[in-house]
Structure 1
Amino acid sequence: MTSGLSHSAWVDNRDEIILSVPTEFSFSQNLHYLSRASNECMFHIQNGRLYKAIPIGQDSQVVEIHAKNDQGLTVRFLSPSLPNEKVRTEVARYVRDWFDLDRDLVPFYELAAGDALLKQAVEKFYGLRTMGIPDLFEALSWGIIGQQINLTYAYTLKRRLVEAFGRRVEFEGETYWLFPTAEKIAGLSVTDLDGLRMTTKKCEYLIDVAQLIVEGKLSKELLWDGGDYQTAEKRLTSIRGIGPWTANYVLMRCLRMPSAFPIDDVGLHNAIKFLLGKEKKPTKAEIRELSKTWTNWESYATFYLWRFLY
């Protein structure tokens, strides 16, 4: 085994890899979350199995992911030519990151057991993981696209972007899409994005972010370099078009920072309103009071509460 994954993290059978999973993991819960959007274009779900093209450098691997009784996550390579060990390791790392398999949720569940809001969430969605977006440009793009519009329309805009500028992989009659690279978008103008029917400002933000990534001025490594959540948040919000909501969404879904907290998120407000049986959404001050015991688990608390709505 290579590239930082321990021998216990996965079993390599060449045509498939079997990832070890924590006790606090439910594939069905995560699959149910992934299946909530009918217009998703980055993967397929069929008969309890997940199909996706995973980007590996300039190449990709189409895989099938399934689990038997949550005893392990089986990732089967569908290409007739088997990938080498380095590629298999990269795929294993990607899937572990995507499902956040290396996170110990026991402390979160212990915290939630004594919290009126979270207790209901973990009982209903036990085993759910914060499904990630491992690629920084994809995460930032999704955050920018989703600003101030409903989720259904956000998926429509994402599909338009992916199908216009992403890479298409055809396999056994199915089409798999890879998200556009930062290099691809960095070389475009706002006029090139006219067909997406997205606001001019969002088009500008996407191109600006892509250029920062291509120029080496923005990366996951640079965001982690400060060593803490506040520093990373400040670096992101210093970029035009990235406010606190987008920054925290990215830190939550891509950087996996447990303290990331999109406190202004409408979905979070509505979930709390629903669980408390209130007529009005909570104020930010009320949310801060409700969340004061969530320290270092704000991102997971938010994700679990979102599940009541999404």
Structure 2
Amino acid sequence: MTAKVPWYPNPDQATLLQQTVEAYRQGCHGVSGVVDTTHCLQQADLHTETYRPLWAPFGLRSQMAQSVIKTVMARYNSVLAHGHPWTRVPFTKPAFDLVCNRDDSLKAGAFSLNTLAGRVPIPFARQGMERVFDGTWQCGTAPLVHRHGRWFLPVPMTKDVAETDWAEIRQVVGLDFGINVLVTAYDSQGQTTFFPGRAVKVRRDHFKILRQTLQRRQTPSARRRLKRLGQRENRWMTDVNHQVSKALVVRYWGPDAIRPGGSDGDAGGHGAGPATGSVYVRVVVRFLADFASPLNWHGGGGRDCPPCTRSCHVIARGHGRFADFRGHRPAF
């Protein structure tokens, strides 16, 4: 499971985080140049070649230097594994991979983060995260994310659970994801539920045409509007994903249900959706898999959402078959 933890640094902490992320990116770019020259992907050899230089020019601490080497190696190995020819991998976007209990640790209700200036306590959103940090879950390496002025830490969490007793399973739900129909759910009682996506497709096409029009203008005002448009589309997509996932949780969630996702039965959604225009489908798959997990299901009364305690609705109005899932306001 992945726990998306929002961070709330003060202005001084946010500046320090940006400096640390930028130094980490520059370190990755420098090590990438060494790998491109030597074609060496052995950690021990790269450590001998780049560990000390990462300290002086970039000011990275010891654990950060180790993480930089591993990040660059993973990026090159991924390129080669996909059959691409050898080429230098650039690091142009901010990046900072945090190793659990080394770069970050939970102390006194805050994340103690390793930065260029030493350890800094960063407050975070604790509501809804009680189960994650109760000591029974193990966290892994997480990339620090900074988008639209907000900081997040998507932490991969693992926990040993008891093996499923198949004799107790009474409900099996299959989910198929698409474009014109966002989700088609079929359960073991022979009931089929459709979530139409044509209205979503039309609106996404509208956003696409509007972006193309603004990009052709090449003016400062057009670029500002493009930024606002992208943020608005992201908020809308998140809301649509939330509505569909909540409807599925209300209808099918229970301790005796199995939920295979996608056409190949993988709960992670691999292979779901066509190759062309399937970005939004993959977002839906990922959100559904995350929201329908025990980690993100915190209870809640009636049909109110656990995170936001508001009534939910489905993505389209005027469809009587979804009357059970619509809330007090329309989707659009």
TM-score normalised by length of structure 2:
0.28
TM-score normalised by length of structure 1:
0.29
> More strand by proportion, 1 or 2?
2
